[in-house]
Amino acid sequence: MKNIRNFCIIAHIDHGKSTLADRLLEYTNTVSGKDLQDQVLDDMDLERERGITIKSHAIQMTYQHDGETFILNLIDTPGHVDFSYEVSRSIAACEGALLIVDASQGIQAQTISNLYMAIDNDLEIIPVVNKVDLDSAKPEEVEDQIVDLLGCKHEDIIRASGKTGVGVPEILEAIVNRIPAPSGNPEKPLQALIFDSVFNPFRGIIAYFKIVNGSIRKGDFVKFVNTEKQYYAEEIGVLKLNLSPRDELSAGNVGYIISGIKTSKEVKVGDTITHVSNPCESAIEGFQEVKPMVFAGVYPIETEDFENLRSSLEKLQLNDASLTFQPESSAALGFGFRCGFLGLLHMEIIQERLAREFNMDVITTVPNVSYKVYDKKGNVAEVHNPSGLPDPTLIEHIEEPYIRASIISTADFIGPIMTLCLGKRGELVKQEFISGNRVELVFDIPLGEIVIDFYDKLKSISKGYASFDYHIHDFRESKLVKLDILLNGESVDALSTLTHVDNAVTFGRRMCEKLKDLIPRQQFDIAIQAAIGAKIIARETVKAVRKDVTAKCYGGDISRKRKLLEKQKQGKKRMKQIGSVEVPQKAFLAVLKLD
């Protein structure tokens, strides 16, 4: 056990984690020949196309050092704030972490947030300055920032380049010398923590675990503590580039188990595996429960696909434990699911994965957040969906979630960033210079305000330099109203939103204008209205496609033309009574891009 090292790689987006992981795999000959490609561990097409890591990936390497063979278990983690739950799970399975900082960009918001998560879990941190081969690299300046942040010595920091392979031997040596071996007892009863799982259509569910105490052999009769299900370990092994079977794994190791589980509800990430005959005394403290930030309805385009969508979401949840969902129905869209996501990028990725991996075409409604509604009797209800709001006369007040946002940028962009945050009803908590020209601004902002287009705007006003990280802070009382969108007098529940009183009129007006462009013209006029309660605050009309019925009427008395027009008017009126308006998928997403 003394020769095992478990470590993960943490960094901000685009600081070169996956490229550096490639060099480590190449140097230890874990991957060679035709398997060697850029971002080896990003095996999803979506990850390669977007150049981001979405899933944590575990892989085992062997490394020779001073005549001894060491087993290194590496977990590469995502850098985007929407996938921080993946990072927290990887950190729970490790004893050390490589903290990677880009030599040209320096420390950014996500670097700090991931670092605090690692320190809370008592991990040994190895700081690495990456991309030192770039012309714009400022390694001395970045090292000073790391020393200020970590309180380490300059000589503890390793300079490396994922592109050229500089510094890789030093990193591997530091992993062996600085990161402690896992502390566990192979003689105790089995105790293994599940940190991830995937669905394989041929083998069932494959669970990835880290053994804390005890050992497991092929064919053992094991049980999952939380779900209380019992299985035979048909195959166990370690995670090389592919699954690599073993006969026995003992404490400190990271591996996988296949036991022919077919239903996804039976495996929970954070559960403990133990032997049926000699169980452990208590389950391992799992991860914190995931708290979804953004809620949106996901509906199948064809109603009969409802059950397929359910099984697709369950399989996706196995692989992405931060997705939560429950059934709901909508008057406009039929039966579907109310899904909870960690952020907008997460929502976009899930939608894309449903389409690619399960061939599910879905409609996603306008995203919103959860609110606490207090009624006049003093009861509290949590509302995720504007249509679930009680009658306004019964509501005492509504509280909305506020986030504590940390924005790190160069001093040149303080003005525009302040304007943006204050325009989103933000309150400045503090502003401090970190080092040189870099400033950290801390704001309290309502979560509902940043859900739609905040991140894009922040990136564009700061020319891509500002980095952004947040966590839920508290709930505060706000004057919120429910804004309904009516089409020909019928409310479309999928388009209704909760918004602040001050923004309601402009938001309603912009919604109507946008929908007017997107809703196709029918044979009759369509009135698009925005309403708060019974009060209409904005209106647009989509004009009817008219046939020129008087074209065949040449010359003669005007009354002949009028007679034909009257006849047409009667027909239009009758059509309007039975005509339903088709709302295209683009209209539901229009709200996201109102500017």
Instruction: Name the E strands within 331-394.
Output: 334-341, 362-364, 371-375, 380-383
Q: Which residues of 341-352 are buried (b: 16+ CB within 10 A; e: fewer)?
A: bbbbbbbbbbbb
Which has more confidence, 70 or 43? 70
Please give the single-letter amino acid code of residue 180: P
pLDDT at position 595: 54
Residue matched to tokens 């196309």: 49
And the tokens for 219?
Answer: 């064919």
SS3 of 435-482: ECCEEEEEEEEEHHHHCCCHHHHHHHHCCCCCEEEEEEEEEEEECEEE
pLDDT score recorded for residue 592: 57
User: Span 492-509, mean pLDDT?
Assistant: 82
Q: What pLDDT score does 391 carry?
A: 77
User: What's the pLDDT score for residue 589?
Assistant: 62
Is residue 333 over pLDDT 80? no
Residues 333-346 have a mean pLDDT of: 82
Q: How far is CA 438 from CA 79, 241, 397, 434, in A?
A: 20, 40, 40, 6
pLDDT digits (tens, 9 = 90+) for 167-178: 888 888 888 888
Q: Side chain identity at 451, as an amino acid letter?
A: V
Ramachandran quadrant class, 252 (left: phi over 0; alpha: psi -120 to 50; beta: rest): left
270: left (phi over 0), alpha (psi -120 to 50) or beta: left
The conformational region for residue 77 under phi > 0 = left, psi -120 to 50 = alpha, else beta, is: beta
132 is in an annotated binding site: yes
Stronger pLDDT, 162 or 99, i.e. the higher one: 99
The number of beta carbons lying within 10 Å of the beta carbon of residue 279 is 16
From CA 440, how far away is CA 433, in angstroms rounded? 6
Mean of pLDDT values over 136-152: 81
Where are any strands of DSSP class E within 504-577?
A: 526-532, 535-542
Tokens of 581: 């308006």
Q: If you average pLDDT over residues 56-84, what whole number do you get?
A: 79
Tokens of 494: 């999928």
Identify whether the C-beta of residue 251 lies closer than 8 Å to the C-beta of residue 3.
no
Q: What is the pLDDT of residue 559?
A: 83
pLDDT attached to residue 580: 66
- The 10s digit of each residue's pLDDT in 523-574 is 777 888 898 888 888 888 888 777 777 777 777 778 878 888 888 778 777 6
Q: What is the pLDDT of residue 432?
A: 84
Low-confidence winner among 73-87, 294-308, 452-466, 568-582 (lowest mean pLDDT): 568-582
Three-class DSSP category at 351 = helix
- pLDDT in the model for residue 26: 81
Q: Is 17 annotated as a binding residue?
A: yes
CB 1 within 8 A of CB 95: no
133 annotated as ligand-binding? yes
Q: Which two tokens stand for residue 28?
A: 């230890």
Report the pLDDT value the prediction gives residue 95, as an integer from 0 to 100.
Answer: 84
At residue 196 the predicted structure's pLDDT band, cuts being 50, 70 and 90, is: confident
pLDDT at 40: 61
Mean of pLDDT values over 480-505: 81
pLDDT at residue 119, rounded to an integer: 83
Mean pLDDT of the chain: 80
Share of the chain above pLDDT 90, in %: 0
Mean pLDDT to the nearest integer, 78-87: 72
The more confidently predicted of residues 361 and 582 is 361
Of all residues in the chain, the percent with pLDDT exceeding 70 is 89
CA pseudo-torsion sign 446, 450, 454, 458: positive
The pair of structure tokens assigned to 142 is 């970045």
pLDDT, residue 44, reads 67
Residue 148 neighbours by CB distance under 10 Å: 11
CA distance 17 to 57: 12
The Cα–Cα gap between 255 and 391 comes to 53
Instruction: pLDDT band for 500, please (50, 70, 90 cuts).
Output: confident
Establish whether 19 is an annotated binding residue. Answer: yes
SS3 label, residue 493:
helix
Strand partners, 298: 337, 364
- Asked if pLDDT for residue 32 goes beyond 80, the answer is no
In angstroms, the Cα distances linking 403 to 212, 444, 467, 469 are 35, 6, 16, 10
Which residues make Cβ contacts (< 8 Å) with residue 79, sequence separation at least 6? 10, 11, 12, 13, 14, 15, 17, 52, 53, 110, 114
Q: How confident is the model at residue 485 (pLDDT cuts 50, 70, 90)?
A: confident
Query: Which amino acid does the sequence have at 257?
Result: I
Average pLDDT over residues 386-401: 81
Beta bridge partners of 531: 484, 536
**Per-residue pLDDT band at 594 (split at 50, 70, 90):** low
Please determine, for residue 494, whether its predicted confidence score (pLDDT) is greater than 60. Answer: yes
503 to 112, 508, 593: CA distances (angstroms) = 34, 8, 16
Confidence of residue 292 (pLDDT cuts 50, 70, 90): confident
What is the C-alpha separation between 421 and 425, in angstroms, rounded?
Answer: 7
Q: Give the mean pLDDT of 3-24.
A: 81
Residue 131, marked binder: yes
Q: In what order do the strands lie in the sheet with 254-258?
A: 229-232, 221-224, 272-275, 191-200, 204-213, 254-258, 235-239, 243-246
Element containing residue 510 per DSSP (H, E): helix 501-518
- Banded pLDDT at 6 (limits 50, 70, 90): confident
State the SS3 of 20-46. Answer: HHHHHHHHCCCCCHHHCCCCCCCCCHH
Q: Please report how many Cα atoms fall inside a 13 Å half-sphere around the Cα of residue 164, on the Cβ side.
A: 10
Tell me what pLDDT residue 38 has.
60
What is the sign of the dihedral through the CA atoms of 193, 197, 200 and 205? Answer: positive
The CA dihedral of 567, 568, 573, 574, to the nearest 10 degrees, is 80
**pLDDT tier for residue 478 given thresholds of 50, 70 and 90:** confident
Q: How far is CA 499 from CA 177, 369, 528, in A?
A: 55, 11, 19
What's the CA angle centered on 588, arms 584 and 290, to 5 degrees? 140
Q: Was 229 annotated as part of a binding site?
A: no
pLDDT on residue 578:
56
261 beta partners: none
Residue 427 has pLDDT above 60, yes or no: yes
> Which region holds residue 127: left if phi is over 0, alpha if psi is between -120 and 50, else beta?
beta
* Residue 213 annotated as lining a ligand binding site: no
Residue ranges of E strands in 131-181: 158-159
pLDDT of residue 338 exceeding 80: yes
Q: Is 429 annotated as belonging to a binding site? A: no
| DSSP conformational letter for 186 | T
**Mean pLDDT of the region 441-465:** 79
In whole angstroms, what is the distance from residue 304 CA to residue 310 CA? 11
pLDDT of residue 127: 87
Contact indicator for 447, 293 with CB cutoff of 8 Å: yes
pLDDT at 155: 81
Residue 407, pLDDT score: 83
pLDDT tens digits for 197-213?
887 878 888 888 888 88
pLDDT at 288 over 70: no
Q: Which residue from 118, 69, 125, 115 is spatially nearest to 93, judged by alpha carbons?
A: 118
